Structure 1
Amino acid sequence: MKGIILVMDGMGDRPLKELDNQTPLQAANTPNMDKMAERGITGIMDSIRPGIIPGSDTAHLSILGYDPYEVYTGRGPFEASGVGLDVIPGDIAFRCNFSTADENGIITDRRAGRIREGTKDIVDVLNTMVIKGYEDIQIIFKESTGHRAVLVLRGEGLSDKVTDADPKVEGKKPKIVESTDGSEEAKRTADLLNKIVEKSYEMVKNHPVNIGRMEENKPPANIIIPRGAGAVPKVEHINEKYEVNSACIAETGLIMGIGRFAGMDIIEMDDVTGGVDTNLDNIIDTIINQVNNTDHNFFLINIDGADEAGHDGNAIQKKEFIEKVDKIVMSKLLNLKNVVLFLTADHSTPISVMNHSGDPVPVIINSPEVRVDDVKEYNEFAVAKGGLCRIRGSDVMNIVMDLMNNSHKFGA
């Protein structure tokens, strides 16, 4: 028996007038997910706790059986590890956006038009950065998927107790990074970050990639905005924790980084973007090959496009992406044998909010011996009547391991 946790990132939502007071999942044509609901057990899940708004990182940690309040130091280290940087104890890592700033320093596009190409060339220039007065600190940039990047600071006298530079909305300058604990190390780190943001604009505003984008009337990726500071955490490997041979199949550096910290094998794919334009055929082919032809018996899978559409406030795009996943991915997963398949989202990303919310997310479990309930549709409302009732993310691994017959009795 093999186990799969498939996370549709940000799939949960709230009813929308433009969709006849339905959520995108309700409005979507999803015959395969509905069939999974009909032959499985369903429920709703709070990734962390009821009403707590989870990040993708803290939600995935909880779903994998880790207490995010204990192991989470910030998003940066997971992003850095996920894109292949060997972070070490003492490093301070940050998640970054390639963004667009005008001549007055105002951010006009936080994601630089969701840039897809040329970021490696921009990073090659940024990696020559030296900040006066901080020559002892190594400044390491690495591009991730799309508009995403990471920054690692390596050296003595640094701290992760600093605020974000991300203004969160267009029309404002990057925030001034500040210390959160008043320590000299944090003040020093904050000052360095403010200089890095300013220097990044000077270094790449006239980069050939950006000149080309402006000639095509596309937003240039002319500034780096760091956020999600974190020191490198210690995480118990999942293979030892649950006695499995695990693999992570994901599009984004963040989820791959969580998988790498958890000791999972990282299965990389070509032509995946973490957006609605990702290559779903490559994703499902990778999943099927890994399940059928490798020794891995547990998989964490993340598909990210619904979250992107939620952040963009695009209800139709979110609905259509869910339909594409149902048609391309779920149709083939339905045919897998001897598999425990746990389908859910890590959090809701409501169109009306354009960010994460604390709304619970829908869950289905398909397994050869699962107790099938009466639910026949997969959406936020139908599954609330299911046999799983309401669970937390921290319950997921225990449930999956039990259905895989991979658990041990507690007590005599």
Structure 2
Amino acid sequence: MKGIILIMDGIGDRPLKELDNKTPLQAANTPNMDLMAENGINGIMDSIQPGIRPGSDTAHISILGYNPHEVYTGRGPFEASGVGLDVIPGDIAFRCNFSTVNDDYIVTDRRAGRIRDNTADLIAKLNEIVIKDYEDVKIIFKESTGHRAVLILRGKGLSDKVSDADPKKEGKSPKEVIAIEDTKEARKTSDLLNKLVRKTYEVLKDHPLNLKRIEEGEPPANIIIPRGVGLVPKVESLNKKYNINSACIAETGLIMGIARFAGMEIIEVDGATGGIDTNLDNITETIVNNVNNSDHDFFLINIDGADEAGHDGNTKEKVEFIEKVDKVVISKLIQLKDCVIILTADHSTPISLMDHSGDPVPLVINGPGIRIDNVKSFNEIDAPSGGLNRIRGSDIMNILMDLMNKAPKFGA
């Protein structure tokens, strides 16, 4: 028996007037997800606990059976590991955005037009940066998918007790990074970061790639804005924790990084962008081939496009992406044999908020021996009446291990 947890990132939502007070998931045509609901056991899930607005990082950590309050030190280390950087104890890591600022140093696009290509050329230039008075600190940049990147500061006397530079919205300058702990290490790190953010603008604003983007009417990726600082955490191996052989198929550096820290094998997919333009055919083929032919018995899968549409406030794109996943991915997964499949989300990303919310997400389990309930449609409104009722993300791995007949007995 094999097991799959398929996370449709940000699929949860709230009713929208433009959809006749339905959620995007209710409004979408999803015959295959509905078939899973009809042939499975359903419920809703709080990835951490009711009312808590989870990040994708803390949600996945919880769903994998770890306590995010113990394991989570910040998003940066997971992003850095996810893009293949070897992080070591003492490193201070950040997730970053390629962003756009104008001549007045005002952010006009936090994601630089969701730049997709050639960011490695920009990174190469950034990795030449040395900050005066901080020559002892090694500065390491690495591109991730799309507009994302990571930053590692490596050296003595650094601290993760600093704030973000991200203003969170357009129309403002990058925030001044401040020490949130009164130590010389935190003050050193904040001063270095403020100088570094300004330096990235000086280095990138006249880069040939950005001059070309301006000519073509595209926002230039002319600054790096770091956020999500963290120290490198210690994480128990998932394989040891559950006596499994695990693998992760994901699109973004963040989820790959969490999986790497958990000791999972990373299976990369050509054309997986983390957006609505991702290559779902390649993702599906990779899943099916590995489930059928590899030695792995557990797979964590993350598909990110619905979350992107939610953050963009684009109802049409969210509905269409849900329908595409149903047609391309779910239609194939429901044909797998001897496999327990959990379909859910890590969090809700309501169109009305354009950000994560604490709303619970729908969850359905299919597989041999499942107790089938009376739910007929996969969505936020029908799922709560199913046999699982309301559970937490930390319950999922235990439930899956039991259904895979891998759960140890507690007691005599």
**TM-score w.r.t. length of structure 1:** 1.00
SS in 2 for 1:113: helix
Residue 358 of structure 2 corresponds to residue 358 of structure 1: yes
Q: Which amino acid aligns with 1:68?
A: P
**CA offsets, 1:358-387, max 9 Å, x none?**
000000000110110000000000001110
Aligned to 1:372: 372
Residue 318 of structure 2 corresponds to residue 318 of structure 1: yes
Q: Following the alignment from structure 2 to structure 1, what is the Cα–Cα distance between the partners of residues 275 and 402?
A: 33
SS in 2 for 1:235: coil
Q: Following the alignment from structure 2 to structure 1, what is the Cα–Cα distance between the partners of residues 18 and 175?
A: 35
Q: Following the alignment from structure 1 to structure 2, what is the Cα–Cα distance between the partners of residues 328 and 183?
A: 53
Aligned to 1:264: 264
1:7-86 to 2 correspondences below 5 Å:
7-86=7-86
Q: Following the alignment from structure 2 to structure 1, what is the Cα–Cα distance between the partners of residues 118 and 336?
A: 39
Q: CA deviation at 1:180?
A: 1.2
Q: Which amino acid aligns with 2:133?
A: G
**CA offsets, 1:27-64, max 9 Å, x none?**
00000000000000000000000000000000000000
Q: Which amino acid aligns with 1:95?
A: R
Q: Following the alignment from structure 2 to structure 1, what is the Cα–Cα distance between the partners of residues 110 and 151?
A: 17
Q: Following the alignment from structure 2 to structure 1, what is the Cα–Cα distance between the partners of residues 182 and 365?
A: 47
Q: Following the alignment from structure 1 to structure 2, what is the Cα–Cα distance between the partners of residues 23 and 159?
A: 43
Q: Following the alignment from structure 1 to structure 2, what is the Cα–Cα distance between the partners of residues 126 and 284?
A: 36
Q: Percent identity?
A: 73
Q: Following the alignment from structure 2 to structure 1, what is the Cα–Cα distance between the partners of residues 183 and 240?
A: 37
1:329-408 to 2 correspondences below 5 Å:
329-408=329-408
Q: Following the alignment from structure 1 to structure 2, what is the Cα–Cα distance between the partners of residues 142 and 251?
A: 16
Q: CA deviation at 1:182?
A: 1.4
Residue 274 of structure 2 corresponds to residue 274 of structure 1: yes
SS in 2 for 1:387: coil
Aligned to 2:241: 241
Q: CA deviation at 1:148?
A: 0.3
**CA offsets, 1:267-303, max 9 Å, x none?**
0111111000000000000000110010000000000
Q: Following the alignment from structure 2 to structure 1, what is the Cα–Cα distance between the partners of residues 161 and 22?
A: 41
Q: Following the alignment from structure 2 to structure 1, what is the Cα–Cα distance between the partners of residues 182 and 313?
A: 38
SS in 2 for 1:199: helix
Q: Following the alignment from structure 1 to structure 2, what is the Cα–Cα distance between the partners of residues 26 and 190?
A: 46
Q: Which amino acid aligns with 2:161?
A: K
Q: Where do 4+ consecutive residues of structure 1 move more than 6 Å?
A: none
Aligned to 1:150: 150
Q: Following the alignment from structure 1 to structure 2, what is the Cα–Cα distance between the partners of residues 353 and 275?
A: 19
SS in 2 for 1:244: coil
Q: CA deviation at 1:343?
A: 0.5
1:170-181 to 2 correspondences below 5 Å:
170-181=170-181
Task: Count matched residues.
Answer: 412
Q: CA deviation at 1:179?
A: 1.1
**CA offsets, 1:221-254, max 9 Å, x none?**
0000000000000000000000000000000000
Q: Which amino acid aligns with 2:252?
A: T
SS in 1 for 2:113: coil
Aligned to 1:98: 98
Q: CA deviation at 1:184?
A: 1.2
1:87-236 to 2 correspondences below 5 Å:
87-236=87-236
**TM-score w.r.t. length of structure 2:** 1.00
Q: Following the alignment from structure 1 to structure 2, what is the Cα–Cα distance between the partners of residues 179 and 27?
A: 46
SS in 1 for 2:114: coil
SS in 2 for 1:96: strand
**CA offsets, 1:125-183, max 9 Å, x none?**
00000000100000000000000000000000011111110000000001111111111
Q: Following the alignment from structure 1 to structure 2, what is the Cα–Cα distance between the partners of residues 32 and 373?
A: 17
